[in-house]
Amino acid sequence: MHRKIRKAVIPAAGFGTRMLPATKSIPKELLTIVDRPILDYIVAEAFASGIEHVVIVTGRMKSAIEDHFDHAFELDVSLRKGGKHAVADRLAKDTPGVGAVSFVRQQEARGLGHAIWSARHIVGDEPFAVLLPDMLMVAGEPCLKSMTGIYDRNGGNVIAVEKCRPEDAHKFGIVSLKPTGNGPLVNGLVEKPAPGTAPTNFFISGRYILQPEIFALLENQEPGAGGEIQLTDALVSLMGMQEIRPFEFAGQTFDCGSPAGFVGANLHMAMQRADIAEAIGHQIDALSMLARPGMGSKAA
């Protein structure tokens, strides 16, 4: 029997430089997709996948994240006094219960691997999930829930992968795979390979299930790309000790840490909302007309 995945780590300590100047004063994880912060969607995915305890790794100037997941007593009272009980009830429902979310601070900006390592004392000696807060992954079944199904059958480690265009492989962490009688296994990982050298076009897309041995590897990991402690490098070491299985995610992924991905996520999620889809649909149609050659406004 494999130990249940009870805890998830969400590294949210980055500066969000791709989204400046917005992130100069607002944590990138609290930028909104329609009317919910990006991080709300990620935490909701974790709980919908059976996670019992979420550990959010923050940094300086990120105290607003802790406030967001706290019970806002004054707001609740004000809403109910104003008769807005439905809104108050929805906020209360979406607020995690006492003890369901913990926070730990990454005191130095030393990369993704170091951020995950910072949560080691809360995770302890048990397998855990990692969800990157930039990556909004949309499907009928949450990506992490599908991954826990693979883990429950096989144990070990599981990473979500997707296909990119071969010419874009140098932008991502790329995996190579080997077939086995029990499905494919990851047998190679490389972070942002030089153009034309990638072994495949399968990239790691932001969800992981990891065994606790990764913490010891991260603690002793030498700095890699960008002078940071890279999770990918530790996974290469882990691969020599334990199986790593891929899960090919077939839904839609939006990199909300980039302006294009952020806008795309807003448009996509808005169109899923019955209360605003019609209005936003008309606006999208109008913008599409403007984008067609010869359809833009002409100078007088």
Identify whether 104 is part of a domain.
yes
Instruction: Decide which of 230 and 10 is more confident.
Output: 10
| Structure confidence at residue 294 as a pLDDT band (50, 70, 90) | low
Identify whether 160 is part of a domain.
yes
Identify whether 2 is part of a domain.
no
| Structure confidence at residue 297 as a pLDDT band (50, 70, 90) | very low
What local confidence, expressed as pLDDT, does residue 233 receive? 87
DSSP string across 51-83: --EEEEEE-TT-HHHHHHTS--HHHHHHHHHTT
Q: What is the mean pLDDT of residues 103-122?
A: 89
Instruction: Decide which of 146 and 273 is more confident.
Output: 146
Identify whether 100 is part of a domain.
yes
List, in order, residues 6 or more apart from 36 with CB less than 8 Å away: none
Rounded to an integer, what distance in angstroms lies between the CA atom of residue 52 and that of residue 262?
A: 28
Q: What is the mean pLDDT of residues 233-245?
A: 90
229 within 8 A of 218, measured Cβ to Cβ: yes
Instruction: Decide which of 133 and 277 is more confident.
Output: 133
Q: How many domains does the chain have?
A: 1
Does the pLDDT value for residue 238 go beyond 60?
yes
Identify whether 298 is part of a domain.
no
Rounded to an integer, what distance in angstroms lies between the CA atom of residue 26 and that of residue 148?
A: 32
What local confidence, expressed as pLDDT, does residue 289 receive? 67
Residue 177 CA from chain centroid, whole number: 23
Nearest to 17 by CA among 98, 109, 96: 109
The pLDDT tens digits for 267-292 are 999 988 888 888 887 777 776 666 66
Ranges 3-7, 86-90, 261-265, 290-294: which has the least confidence: 290-294
Report the CATH number at residue 213: 3.90.550.10
Identify whether 73 is part of a domain.
yes
Does the pLDDT value for residue 223 go beyond 80?
no
Identify whether 299 is part of a domain.
no
**Residue range of the domain that includes 38:** 7-291
Identify whether 242 is part of a domain.
yes
| Structure confidence at residue 298 as a pLDDT band (50, 70, 90) | very low
Share of the chain above pLDDT 90, in %: 51
Report angle CA 230, 236, 239 to the nearest 5 degrees.
Answer: 140
Rounded to an integer, what distance in angstroms lies between the CA atom of residue 132 and that of residue 207?
A: 7
64 within 8 A of 19, measured Cβ to Cβ: no
Q: What is the mean pLDDT of residues 178-186?
A: 88
In DSSP terms, which residues pair with 171 in a beta bridge?
none
| Structure confidence at residue 192 as a pLDDT band (50, 70, 90) | confident
Task: Give the other-Cβ count within 10 Å of 81's Cβ.
Answer: 9
Q: What is the mean pLDDT of residues 132-138?
A: 95
Rounded to an integer, what distance in angstroms lies between the CA atom of residue 164 and that of residue 171?
A: 10
